[in-house]
Structure 1
Amino acid sequence: MASLEGRPEHPGLPIPQRLLAFLTLAMAIAMSVLDGSIVNVALPTMAHDLAVAPAASIWIVNAFLLAVTVSLLPLSALGDTIGYRRVYTPGLALFTLASLACALAPSLPVLTAARAVQGLGAAGIMSVNIALVRFIYPSSKLGQGVGNVAVVVAVSSAGSPTVAAAILSVASWRWLFLINVPIGVVALYLAVRTLPDTPRSKRSLDSMSVALNILTFGLLIAGVDGLGQNQTAGVAAGELIAAAAFGALFVQRQLSQAAPLLPVDLLRRPIFALSLATSILSFAAQSLALVALPFYFEDTLGRSETATGLLMTPWPVATALIAPISGRLADRFAPGLLGGAGLMVMGAGLALVALNVGNADGASLVWRLAICGLGFGFFQSPNNRMIIGSAPPDRSGGAAGLQSAGRLIGQSFGTALMAVAFGRAPEHATSIALWTATGMTLLGACASALRRA
């Protein structure tokens, strides 16, 4: 039997081992995605406890984000070389140890350093998780496996305010990190026992490519974040210009390599490039909405942090319900059409939410947010299936790394746009954000429709 990619059927793991292998992926992915944004809710408290200025506390978030972003592609390439399990397992161990260090950190510099190490561990998890799915599930069920991962990623990303509010309601901010330790130990035990060995390529890492990767993505994230944090416009623009210059050198170097660190060989494939572009747009739109709405609920409607978390819950719940279904459908029907339909639904939901802003009854937004979550979940599984399925098996690591990098870039861009809206038009920031998110989603739907698979 052939897979949808026209390649021989991969048998995957037997059922008991497959379920346990996915469980370790799910636990690690949830922790790594949550820790990218969960501390946002606790930043004021953390700044107070550590006796630092609010502006300085931003590095608690930035250190993690920068470490993840600059490490994703090198680690995904390393996974292609030495095997994905040999990158994933040390990454999980490092993430768990760094979480303990974060929980025990006595000062901001120590916490920032621990967060950077935690980000490096998270990159080890994120860079190869989808690549591992390709060898955990048989080829005929790749969409199902990718759909299950999409549930974990989407729910963790969208549900971080709810999780943070729940933990902070009963414990100090240190438990945001400490809770990772027992989960990480269990996930590590399962990883060692259940994750499969995977094929290895004969490529070697090019140190110059790694350096250009770090400069390109580091400056890009710093520049985008600078726009959102009211940094001097000239400094942020300089960082973005420098990122573009180093990026041009990076791409030029990759074009001459047979197995490049930046998967330009994969980006030449229209299906892969369009799928990645729609992924970036969808996460940027999601980020805009999920950053704007808590401010609306708390500052405009006067809801508490806990109530705000509950009001946001329909989005991740709806995503969790639909993503496995869309993943199974993607194994039978054209993923491009399924993804486009999902983005259309998400766009309609965002428009309905935008039209309801100003209504004092926050509960009226619940079903509208559920529509957003349904569309987002229906899109993610088929789209991620196309990203990983359109890449050759020996380039699965590169595809997985670029997919995770696209998500982070989309989220960073959405957050920066939201900050600009708050700075320029605070009284209309929520509406601006939601209508911008609607436009991005519909643009993504058009791009999705161009795919021929």
Structure 2
Amino acid sequence: MADIAETRAAPESHSTAGALASLSLAMLVSSLATSIANVALPTLSLAFAASFAAVQWVVLAYLLTITALIVSVGRLGDLVGRRPLLIVGLALFSAASFAAALAPSLAFLIGARAVQGLGAAVMMALTMAFVGETVPKERTGSAMGLLGTMSAVGTALGPSLGGVLIAAFGWRSIFLVNAALGAVALLAAWRFLPAAIPASEAVGIVRRAIPASKAASVVRWATGVRGEARGRFDTLGTLLLAATLAAYALSMTMGRGHFGGLNIALLGAAAAGAVLFVIVEAKVASPLVKLALLRDPVLAPSFAMNALVSTVMMATLVVGPFFLSRALGLGDAATGAVLSIGPVVSALCGVIAGRVVDRLGAAAMVTAGLVLMVAGCAALAALPGLFGVAGYAAAIILLTPGYQLFQAANNTAVMADVDRKERGVVSGMLSLSRNLGLVTGTAVMGAVFAFAVGAKDVAAAAPGAVAHGMGSTFAVAAGLVVAAMMIALASDLRERRST
């Protein structure tokens, strides 16, 4: 009977292929909206006569909104229905993108980007949650690999597409493209994603399946009219978590590499908020996040590994450009071309990684992916200094498939067996752990690099110092991946002992 409550058998128009296509497009659009805006910052600075510190909020507003609200919207999807909320999120994203394209001022643009981030948070939280409802369990890995591929394609496409559009049509065109693609994703979701079972159909099913005396209560449950059993939305928990995550993200991103008093104050506020959030969640009847999820023997290690791995991957984006331009002397075009190797490889191997996970199992492939990542980090620490661009490219080609394999396996391990009523919030927490790793990596790996370079201004450091900083940073990164591997092995050992 639980199956009745969640989804109905999909009609032909709600094909698996169509549903996956709509989810993939939603993932691509949300990733594209992040990377395409970065390339517009210099143009926006000129257009609005604003400083870089001001225009960077065009990117930060989007990322902070996603980070602060992604768990909450995942939980909301569990309560009100994932399909309608995803459609609302896509509509909100498209409308906000159109508003951003018409922005008369920088403040208006930043506000529109924050609303766009809310729509993207819904999209990111619910796409993975929908996989369990659209594909057979034995194909979960392939679906997760496909979503990873589309995320990589969006990330890789953003800078090049944004540059072409800005040169040809101006900065407003990048947001018009987001609006158009969001509208297409909205139509695809409306057309292909399976809907909740309608009341009229539920009545017939229930009457044939159970005694009449129990039919009314089950129909109400199956069609979504569940009252208290469905749970209430935890508004206080949502506000506390959003404020806590926003404070943490700001502590990691403000100051442009200098960790001062404001950063420490924000970090302290985030710590206090986290403690208060745990206290509140332990007392409310319908918590935003069940604290048991944080103690789950599968979920907790997966979240921790995801954060560590994302911290490491952010190092390639933080350190790579400095090394290629300062240590190797590459121009802007050549640096961009070399940096595109990672996203391109990621896009090519994502689906393959998912199929390997389906064939060989998620647990084994989590470890295999981490082993490849350790080798890739070690190669990044040594090979670029010896072989230049060729060494850097070879190391990235080794690191990136390991990351994709880990992502597909870890996402599959988390989402394959999660309770249907918790899919949205768990998917949101999985995405949150990745985002927290990315914002932490920006600050921490950037600080490691700056310390290893040993110069006050990294951009003006000698090539040899930058090369040394590169090697030291990825030696630390290899250690973080080894820590993730230890978590994976410990989790696997506990699982074997429990069985």
Same fold (TM over 0.5): yes
Residues 13 and 209 of structure 1, relative CA distance in 2, 3 Å threshold: farther
Alpha-carbon distance, 1:342 to partner? 0.6
Q: How far apart, in 1, do the equivalents of 2:444 and 2:156 lie?
A: 18
Q: How far apart, in 1, do the equivalents of 2:127 and 2:264 lie?
A: 34
Partner of 1:270: 297
Matched, 1:324 2:351: yes
- 2:72 is matched with which residue: 64, 74, 78? 74
Partner of 2:307: 280
Q: Would you say the 8 A contact 1:315–1:371 is kept in 2? A: no
CA RMSD of aligned residues (A): 2.6
Q: How far apart, in 2, do the equivalents of 1:156 and 1:42 lie?
A: 16
Q: How far apart, in 2, do the equivalents of 1:12 and 1:430 lie?
A: 51
Q: Would you say the 8 A contact 1:11–1:139 is kept in 2? A: no
- 1:135 is matched with which residue: 124, 133, 136? 133
Q: How far apart, in 2, do the equivalents of 1:142 and 1:19 lie?
A: 13
Q: Would you say the 8 A contact 2:70–2:122 is kept in 1? A: yes
1:36 is paired with a residue of what secondary structure? helix
Q: Would you say the 8 A contact 1:351–1:438 is kept in 2? A: yes
Alpha-carbon distance, 1:89 to partner? 0.8
Matched, 1:370 2:410: no
Partner of 2:238: 210
Alpha-carbon distance, 1:87 to partner? 1.3
Alpha-carbon distance, 1:88 to partner? 0.8
Q: How far apart, in 2, do the equivalents of 1:177 and 1:218 lie?
A: 24
Partner of 1:409: 436
Alignment of 1:242-391 (within 5 A): 242-257=269-284, 259-359=286-386, 361-391=388-418
2:385 is paired with a residue of what secondary structure? coil
Q: How far apart, in 1, do the equivalents of 2:356 and 2:285 lie?
A: 34
Q: Would you say the 8 A contact 1:77–1:261 is kept in 2? A: yes
Residues 360 and 43 of structure 1, relative CA distance in 2, 3 Å threshold: farther
Q: Would you say the 8 A contact 1:287–1:411 is kept in 2? A: yes
Alpha-carbon distance, 1:149 to partner? 1.3
Residues 449 and 172 of structure 1, relative CA distance in 2, 3 Å threshold: farther
Q: Would you say the 8 A contact 2:28–2:154 is kept in 1? A: yes
Alignment of 1:77-226 (within 5 A): 77-157=75-155, 160-165=158-163, 167=165, 172-198=170-196, 202-226=230-254
Q: What amino acid sits opposite 1:447 in the alignment? A: I
- 2:478 is matched with which residue: 426, 438, 448? 438
Deviations 1:45-68 (A, max 9, x none): 321222111111221111111111
Deviations 1:81-114 (A, max 9, x none): 1111111111111111211222232321111111
- 1:60 is matched with which residue: 46, 50, 58? 58
Please, which moves more after superposition, 79-88 or 49-58?
Answer: 49-58
Q: What amino acid sits opposite 1:434 in the alignment? A: F
Q: How far apart, in 1, do the equivalents of 2:360 and 2:390 lie?
A: 36
Residues 386 and 208 of structure 1, relative CA distance in 2, 3 Å threshold: same
Q: What amino acid sits opposite 1:400 in the alignment? A: S
Alpha-carbon distance, 1:413 to partner? 0.6
Q: How far apart, in 1, do the equivalents of 2:167 and 2:471 lie?
A: 30
Compute the TM-score of the two structures, normalised by the length of structure 1.
Answer: 0.90
Q: Would you say the 8 A contact 2:315–2:446 is kept in 1? A: no
2:34 is paired with a residue of what secondary structure? coil
Alpha-carbon distance, 1:125 to partner? 0.6
Residues 250 and 170 of structure 1, relative CA distance in 2, 3 Å threshold: same
Q: Would you say the 8 A contact 1:317–1:373 is kept in 2? A: no
Q: How far apart, in 2, do the equivalents of 1:321 and 1:400 lie?
A: 24
Q: How far apart, in 1, do the equivalents of 2:128 and 2:139 lie?
A: 13
2:190 is paired with a residue of what secondary structure? helix
Q: What amino acid sits opposite 2:154 in the alignment? A: S
Residues 355 and 167 of structure 1, relative CA distance in 2, 3 Å threshold: farther
Q: How far apart, in 2, do the equivalents of 1:210 and 1:363 lie?
A: 48
Q: Would you say the 8 A contact 1:312–1:369 is kept in 2? A: no
Residues 413 and 272 of structure 1, relative CA distance in 2, 3 Å threshold: same
Ranges in structure 2 where 5+ consecutive residues have no aligned partner: 1-7, 197-221, 459-464
Q: What amino acid sits opposite 1:84 in the alignment? A: R
Q: How far apart, in 2, do the equivalents of 1:400 and 1:433 lie?
A: 30
- 1:450 is matched with which residue: 490, 494, 498? 490
Q: How far apart, in 1, do the equivalents of 2:490 and 2:359 lie?
A: 19
Deviations 1:204-243 (A, max 9, x none): 1122111111211111111111365425x22111111111
Alpha-carbon distance, 1:385 to partner? 0.7
Q: What amino acid sits opposite 1:210 in the alignment? A: T
1:127 is paired with a residue of what secondary structure? helix
Q: How far apart, in 2, do the equivalents of 1:196 and 1:107 lie?
A: 40
Alpha-carbon distance, 1:164 to partner? 4.4
Q: How far apart, in 1, do the equivalents of 2:155 and 2:13 lie?
A: 28
Alpha-carbon distance, 1:25 to partner? 1.4
Structure with higher Rg: it is: 2
- 2:262 is matched with which residue: 221, 231, 235? 235
Q: How far apart, in 2, do the equivalents of 1:343 and 1:396 lie?
A: 25
1:358 is paired with a residue of what secondary structure? helix
Identity rate of aligned residues, in percent? 32
